[in-house]
Amino acid sequence: MALIQIGILIYGARLARRVEGLLNRLELEIDPLLEQVKKVGGDITRAAKLGATQVERADLLVTRLVQRVEETIDATQRLIVEPIKQGATLLEAIRAAFSDLHKTVGRRTDEVVDKEERT
């Protein structure tokens, strides 16, 4: 019985050494892989920060563009549309004045014709 126990102990010791050797090899192979994963993680973090910065810059650019377009539209309206509206109002006033003048002249002409017919 003692021999069996000694055999089990020797076998257990060899098994423990083999398991320790496997663990050492596994650590040697996994360590470089973990370093690569850390590097990739750092690269991903940097890329995400750069992407966020670029999105912020694009947003700022679009905001500025919209402001400039609105300013251009306001200036166009102020410089072109308003004078055209004022000109149209002036033309309406002139048209109304000529219309009134035409009616007045027409009435006077009718009065003169009536006077001539009476005489």
Task: Write down the pLDDT at residue 80.
Answer: 84
The residue ranges of every structural domain in the chain are: 1-119
In single-letter form, the type of residue at position 108 comes to R
Q: What is the pTM of this model?
A: 0.46
Q: Which tokens in the block code for residue 83?
A: 């004078």
Q: pLDDT at position 69, please?
A: 96
pLDDT tens-place string over residues 72-115: 999 888 888 788 888 788 888 888 888 887 777 666 665 655 66
Angle among Cα 113, 118, 119 to the nearest 5 degrees reads: 100
Residue-wise pLDDT for 59-75, tens only, equals 999 999 999 999 999 98
Collapsing DSSP to helix, strand or coil, 1 comes out as coil
pLDDT for residue 105:
66
- Enumerate residues 6+ apart whose C-beta is below 8 A from 87: none
